[in-house]
Amino acid sequence: MLYPNSWYPLCTTGEVKKGEVISREAFGFRLAIFRTVGNQLGLLESRCSHIGADLSRGRVDKDCLVCPLHNWSFNVQGECVHIPCTDKIPPKAGQRSLVCMEHYGVVYAYLGAKPKFPLPKFPDLNKYVISGVTTIDFDASYEMAVANSFDEQHLSTVHRRNVIGEQKISSSSDYNFSIEYRADITPHTIYDKILHMMGIKQNHMLLDCWGGNILLFSHLGTRNLMIISLLPVGKVCTRAYITTVTTSGQGLVSSITDWLRVRLMHAFTMMFVSQDVKALQGMDFKIDNMLPVHDTTMLKWYQHWLKLPRKPAWGADQTSSTQLVSHGTKKT
């Protein structure tokens, strides 16, 4: 399966430490993610291009990942830079690689040859604090999990929030799909009861989706922001990375209260998300029976997702449908 060209979350920033390598499954592949001693991140296909040892069981030496079997060394671009037994590096001695970046506490890799859009940020958020990242695994396709965020019916049936009027749909690029709406909050959960006690009986949401898998939620008029990004571990196995973000004030007192507030908001966020997870586990997503009016937003998002560019990266092995970039080393 070819996945859309996008930034995909692979691990939290704390999971891959300087001078260490970890293993991850994604897109049906095993990957080795490492951080060099100089703090550069690298992501390589785990199967060594020599005879196939697992690079995620190797070690980091300065700027390279070293294979555990014959100690071939690969840099973050996947180029083979050293073979202990010879000076002649063969042309096929290179690992497929992806570009990595850290963002709101998560390490992302761009699936494709060259990033077509930057990692999305919350606008006007100069100084911020994040909650820490929660991950959730579930047995359903990632596109279904994203489609759920655009499912208007589930807002009332799962979350007891009733949309007022129409959802406003917009798109700022081929990779973006956004909706804005207002919803009445029913005091059903502890979180929603607290909101009612605070006089908040309605919320105004902006939901910004990038690359088909990164969702930025903004509660407009408040400092409550959330980013959920989805990783297709396999065809029907998905991992969600969830981070709550809020603006941060100046001074020590403010940093302590901001720290506490963002964690409390995150706990409430996770209660909200757990309602979705309960309803979505084991779902076999199908679209042919969607209702023309009530499922319109979800259907439009799905049509947008189908049209997202999915070009294999330059040099990719088309026969295996992989989108990892191939970095063979020049002939010597």
**Residue with structure tokens 């700022």?**
172
**276: partner contacted, choices ligand FES, Fe ion, none (Cβ within 5-8 A by kind):** Fe ion
329 with 90: CB under 8 angstroms?
A: yes
**50: partner contacted, choices Fe ion, ligand FES, none (Cβ within 5-8 A by kind):** ligand FES
Structure tokens at 157: 């049936």
Number of residues that bind ligand FES (CB under 6 A): 9
Residue 165, burial from CB neighbour count under 10 angstroms (0-12, 13-18, 19+)? exposed
| CB count in 10 Å sphere of residue 120 | 20
Nearest approach, Cβ of 90 to ligand FES (angstroms)?
A: 12
- Binding to ligand FES by residue 51, rule CB under 6 A? yes
Identity of residue 118: P
Structure tokens at 125: 């958020």
- Binding to ligand FES by residue 8, rule CB under 6 A? no
Identify which of 297, 284, 295, 328 has the alpha carbon closest to the alpha carbon of residue 138.
Answer: 284
Interface residue with Fe ion among 79, 143, 276, 295 (CB under 5 A) is 276
**196: partner contacted, choices ligand FES, Fe ion, none (Cβ within 5-8 A by kind):** none
Distance CA 33, CA 107 (A): 10
Stretch that binds ligand FES, among 62-70, 172-180, 216-224, 305-313 (CB under 6 A): 62-70
Stretch that binds ligand FES, among 67-75, 99-107, 149-157, 286-294 (CB under 6 A): 67-75
For 149, 184, 205, 220, 323, the CA distances from 97, given in Å and listed in that order, are 31, 46, 37, 38, 9
The residue (of 38 and 52) whose beta carbon lies closer to ligand FES is 52
The residue (of 53 and 200) whose beta carbon lies closer to ligand FES is 53
- Binding to ligand FES by residue 53, rule CB under 6 A? yes
**51: partner contacted, choices ligand FES, Fe ion, none (Cβ within 5-8 A by kind):** ligand FES
The distance of Cα 161 from the centroid of its chain, to the nearest Å, equals: 26
The residue (of 53 and 195) whose beta carbon lies closer to ligand FES is 53
- Binding to ligand FES by residue 113, rule CB under 6 A? no
Nearest approach, Cβ of 67 to ligand FES (angstroms)?
A: 3
Secondary structure class of 156 (helix, strand, coil): helix
Stretch that binds Fe ion, among 83-91, 100-108, 115-123, 273-281 (CB under 5 A): 273-281
**Residues 71-90 within binding reach of ligand FES (CB under 6 A):** 72
The distance of Cα 269 from the centroid of its chain, to the nearest Å, equals: 17
The residue (of 48 and 240) whose beta carbon lies closer to ligand FES is 48
Question: Please, which residues have CB within 8 angstroms of residue 309's CB and are 6 or more apart in sequence?
Answer: 4, 5, 112, 116, 174, 175
Distance CA 30, CA 332 (A): 30
- Binding to ligand FES by residue 50, rule CB under 6 A? yes
218 with 122: CB under 8 angstroms?
A: yes
- Binding to ligand FES by residue 48, rule CB under 6 A? yes
32 with 20: CB under 8 angstroms?
A: no
Interface ranges with Fe ion (CB under 5 A): 276
Interface ranges with ligand FES (CB under 6 A): 48, 50-53, 67, 69-70, 72
